[in-house]
Chain A
Amino acid sequence: MANEPYDTVDTDVLVIGAGGAGQRAAIAAAEAGCQVLVVCKSLLGKAHTVMAEGGMAAALANVAGADTWEVHFQDTMKGGKLINNWRMAHIHATEAPERVLELERWGAVFDRTREGYIHQRPFGAHTYPRLAHIGDRTGLEIIRSLQDHLVHMPNIEVHMETTVSSLLTWEGRAVGALAYRRVDGALVVYRAKAVLLATGGAGRIYRVTSNSWECTGDGVALAYHAGAQLQDCEMVQFHPTGMVWPPGVRGILVTEGVRGEGGILRNSRGERFMVNYDPERMDLSSRDVVARAINAEVEAGRGSPHGGAFLDISHKSPEYIRRKLPSMYEQFLKLAKVDITKEPMEVAPTIHYFMGGVRVGAEDGATTVPGLFAAGEVASGLHGANRLGGNSLSDLLVFGKRAGDAAAVFAQDHAGPVKIDRAQVERAIEELLGPLHRPDGESPFALEEELRDVCTEYAPLIRDREGLEKGLERTLELAERAARCSAGGPTGRAFNPGWHTAQDLRNMLVSAEALFRCALERKESRGAHARRDYPDLDPKLEAVNMVAQKSEGGMACFPVEREPIPDELRAIIDKKFPRFELEEGS
């Protein structure tokens, strides 16, 4: 395998991933004067961001005049059960409005208020209606607006359908990556002055997920192998409402916008059960609470026929539903033969979002590896133990821009020629091509299925030590088998999904291992992390995040104390804000 040919491509900033965060980061770095190269696994504009439905949270105060960054900050911190990086939550709340307005100036179109301003819809655990939206396809609007802005910038180049398999380092600094083009299997070495990860989450390690195939935790694995720290990997969000029936569509997202627009959850007896779990916020409680409530109803024998709950919006007029929730209407009609203007939907929790990921600096998205930055779902900190709906899209823009800016500064400060370690490249190539040279190894598809079963069974909504230990053991065993797997079938490199899946699998295993290790370490129940053996919140653990890092003996996991929150921000969290009363007709 030595002397495999590869192309070498030079750039200032290499952005890996082209969802909302990657695209926003690329635009920022290009505006700063850098040459930017974006590589993505799919075609441009197909990233998982397009699946975001409900909206983008920003305290624009267009619907509730009382909304301010302080209320948004409080909601985010409370939702995250206070283990958020408070500085990130602060930055996010203050900068989200300008990022939304900026996107509008790049051509994005949002629904309007009667006064002609950007309309904002209510969403779970947001004190005020706060989500800028366009019907229920806000993610598509964001992606398309960024994409059309980006493709006209002369110093941004996009390499579509290109998968990064390893990061390259030189004396501890990130200096590029090894990648392959999916279409023909050709190898590429990217040399860059700064590298930015925007690869999204790892939802595909579970059987039932709202995530697209791309969400295989690539950035987490790339960063981990390059020596970067990971954080809060036990915090995996179950979105309370995924489709449950028929089996072919299980897991597909049902937007929280349905409840934002007035949808009501009921159990098999027709009871509005959220009154027993969160009488104040009811159906619009935070996602961790609603997901556990549905789970509890099912376990108590009050579930819907296919093991979920009913979600009903049919009390609203058909015209209203079709205008505000067009893709939900279409999705249920086509895939489940259910007309949501007439009958309730059947919903159950589905894996949706990873609050954990690569540990980054609040201001600049810098990881613990010099020259390596991260933004969006791959990064960790903003959302703490539970993400609020709508905070992800604003996260992408706020921290995408900041990380892009910082990567540009780093690249400009390190303008000299980039050195590449040839031996490191050779080793990475050998690992990458391995599955094509092992005809008798196991199928990566089968191993991937096994991993999904392991995560689904041993890291469910409610966990315990015994299950988590078993899950970790099985994951480590799968990792050994995966290292010997085969691409299966013919060994051509041109668009060979067996080979591609072998790469994904290697990455997914890192996210799974970090999940089990961090979950074992956090001996309490907090936000998305609920333990049967430690059912209560432990106030002492509010001060720490679980950190995972590569070490001599494999992955090490340990608690790290956060810098204490300044008094003035602490005071905002405890402040009382007036409740929002919906005006007649608005």
Chain B
Amino acid sequence: MADRTVKLSIFRGDPGGGDMVTYEVPTQEGMVVLDAVLWVQSHRAPDLAVRWNCKAAKCGSCSAEIDGFPRLMCKSPIDEYGDEISVRPMHTFPLIRDLVTDVSWNYEVNKRIQPFTPSEADLADPQPWRMQQEDVDRVIEFRKCIECFLCQDVCHVLRSHGQKDAFFGPRFMIRIASLEMHPKDAADRRPLLRGEAGVGMCNITKCCTEVCPEHIHITDNGIIPMKERMADLYFDPLRFVAGKLMRGRE
């Protein structure tokens, strides 16, 4: 292992075009793909653009497509790959340069989600809040999200169909879920889910769950319950009839 070299092919280019460029990289035990990319940067190509921060799978900055699979580079040990490894930028977001893409759309989406909103009574309560661990546990899973946007990258609604105007994507489905299921949140985001967030666009292929480095069950625990909440409000036949009757009475 210690003396092995790998052929690392990295996409080099900008919106005007680019190519895969291959670098020979010496490896050492425990090395991850990010280490190899940074070795190339400091020894072969000082202008190789790459985002990274913590190198400990906690910040979600170094997302890329390694041998075609969306992953965090810092959490991808070299020894899980063959002698040739390809690294490309995320496909779903506009390219800036080399491995860096423009993910600003995600930040814009987040601003459109109503933030945490406690009830008037809870806000006015001068005592420290009480919540039970089991209620907190429901949202803990979603709050593990490190915003690597790999789920957004792999989601075919965004990736293949480019429908960023119709669907907020898996990351923001679980963001909404984390608020909707928060024991102290009192807002109703079901109109948002049905409307511009577009929860109906997801057809549950679970690709997002598969790539999540935090192992969040995005589809099963987040998106499906959100679909159900939205359906309860808008498509429940009993509620539909009751709604008609109420309106008749007015």
B146/A140 in contact, CB under 8 A: yes
B107/A151 in contact, CB under 8 A: yes
In angstroms, how far is the closest chain B Cβ from the Cβ of A99? 13
Q: Which residue of B lies closest to A148 (CB)?
A: B115
Tell yes or no: A569 within 8 A of B by CB: no
Tell yes or no: A577 within 8 A of B by CB: no
A116/B32 in contact, CB under 8 A: no
A50/B35 in contact, CB under 8 A: no
Tell yes or no: A318 within 8 A of B by CB: no
Residues of chain B from 109 to 128 with CB closer than 8 A to chain A in the complex: 110-111, 115-116, 118, 123, 128
Of A188-196, A330-338, A419-427, which stretch is located at the interface?
Answer: A330-338
A46/B143 in contact, CB under 8 A: no
Of A78-86, A220-228, A240-248, A389-397, which stretch is located at the interface?
Answer: A240-248
Tell yes or no: B207 within 8 A of A by CB: no
B136/A148 in contact, CB under 8 A: no
B55/A252 in contact, CB under 8 A: yes
In angstroms, how far is the closest chain B Cβ from the Cβ of A62? 8
Tell yes or no: A508 within 8 A of B by CB: no
Chain A 231-256 near chain B by CB (<8 Å), digits 1 or 0? 00000000000000111110011000
Quick one: given A43-B103, A51-B54, are A109 and B182 in contact (CB under 8 Å)?
yes
B143/A43 in contact, CB under 8 A: no
Of A100-108, A529-537, A552-560, which stretch is located at the interface?
Answer: A100-108
User: Contact check: which of B47, B56, B129 meets A490 at CB < 8 Å?
Assistant: B47
Of A258-266, A285-293, A495-503, which stretch is located at the interface?
Answer: A495-503
Tell yes or no: B180 within 8 A of A by CB: no
User: Contact check: which of B55, B102, B103, B215 meets A212 at CB < 8 Å?
Assistant: B55
In angstroms, how far is the closest chain A Cβ from the Cβ of B27? 9
Chain A 34-61 near chain B by CB (<8 Å), digits 1 or 0? 0000000011111110110000000010
B96/A183 in contact, CB under 8 A: yes
B30/A248 in contact, CB under 8 A: yes
Complex interface: chain A residues within 8 A of B203 (CB): none
Complex interface: chain A residues within 8 A of B139 (CB): 109
Chain B 73-106 near chain A by CB (<8 Å), digits 1 or 0? 0010100000000000000000011101011100
Tell yes or no: A144 within 8 A of B by CB: yes
Complex interface: chain A residues within 8 A of B132 (CB): 112, 116
Tell yes or no: A214 within 8 A of B by CB: yes
Tell me, in angstroms, the Cα distance from A496 to B98 when the chains sit together. Answer: 10
B48/A117 in contact, CB under 8 A: no
What is the interface residue range for chain A against chain B?
35 or more
User: Contact check: which of B47, B104, B129, B185 meets A497 at CB < 8 Å?
Assistant: B47
Of B57-65, B193-201, B224-232, B237-245, which stretch is located at the interface?
Answer: B57-65
Complex interface: chain A residues within 8 A of B61 (CB): 42-43, 46
A331/B57 in contact, CB under 8 A: yes
A111/B54 in contact, CB under 8 A: no
B143/A144 in contact, CB under 8 A: yes
Tell yes or no: B133 within 8 A of A by CB: yes
Quick one: given A46-B59, A112-B131, are A106 and B47 in contact (CB under 8 Å)?
no
B56/A51 in contact, CB under 8 A: yes
Residues of chain A from 453 to 507 with CB closer than 8 A to chain B in the complex: 487-490, 492, 494-499, 501
Tell me, in angstroms, the Cα distance from A460 to B129 when the chains sit together. Answer: 45
User: Contact check: which of A144, A183, A488 meets B46 at CB < 8 Å?
Assistant: A488
Q: Which residue of A lies closest to B34 (CB)?
A: A248
Tell yes or no: A375 within 8 A of B by CB: no
Quick one: given A112-B131, A112-B136, A335-B32, are A494 and B97 in contact (CB under 8 Å)?
yes
A46/B41 in contact, CB under 8 A: no
User: Contact check: which of A50, A248, A336, A489 meets B58 at CB < 8 Å?
Assistant: A50
Tell me, in angstroms, the Cα distance from A446 to B56 when the chains sit together. Answer: 23
Chain A 160-188 near chain B by CB (<8 Å), digits 1 or 0? 10000000000000000000000100000
A247/B123 in contact, CB under 8 A: no
B58/A494 in contact, CB under 8 A: no
In angstroms, how far is the closest chain B Cβ from the Cβ of A429? 20
User: Contact check: which of B48, B51, B59, B111 meets A50 at CB < 8 Å?
Assistant: B59
Tell yes or no: B144 within 8 A of A by CB: yes
Tell yes or no: A280 within 8 A of B by CB: no
Complex interface: chain A residues within 8 A of B130 (CB): 112, 115-117
Tell me, in angstroms, the Cα distance from A144 to B178 when the chains sit together. Answer: 12
A248/B31 in contact, CB under 8 A: yes
Tell me, in angstroms, the Cα distance from A252 to B57 when the chains sit together. Answer: 10
In angstroms, how far is the closest chain A Cβ from the Cβ of B16? 11
Tell yes or no: B210 within 8 A of A by CB: no
Task: Report the 8 A-B pairs with minimum CB-CB distance, sorted nearest first.
Answer: A246-B30, A107-B116, A498-B46, A116-B130, A248-B30, A445-B42, A488-B46, A495-B49
24 contacts between A and B (CB under 8 A): A51-B58, A51-B59, A105-B118, A106-B116, A112-B131, A140-B146, A141-B143, A144-B143, A151-B110, A210-B56, A246-B30, A247-B28, A247-B29, A248-B32, A249-B30, A249-B32, A327-B58, A330-B57, A334-B77, A445-B42, A487-B47, A495-B100, A497-B41, A498-B46
19 additional A-B residue pairs with CB within 8 Å, beyond A212-B59, A249-B30? A43-B103, A45-B147, A46-B61, A51-B56, A107-B115, A109-B136, A111-B133, A148-B110, A148-B116, A214-B53, A246-B28, A247-B28, A248-B31, A248-B77, A331-B57, A445-B42, A489-B47, A494-B97, A495-B97
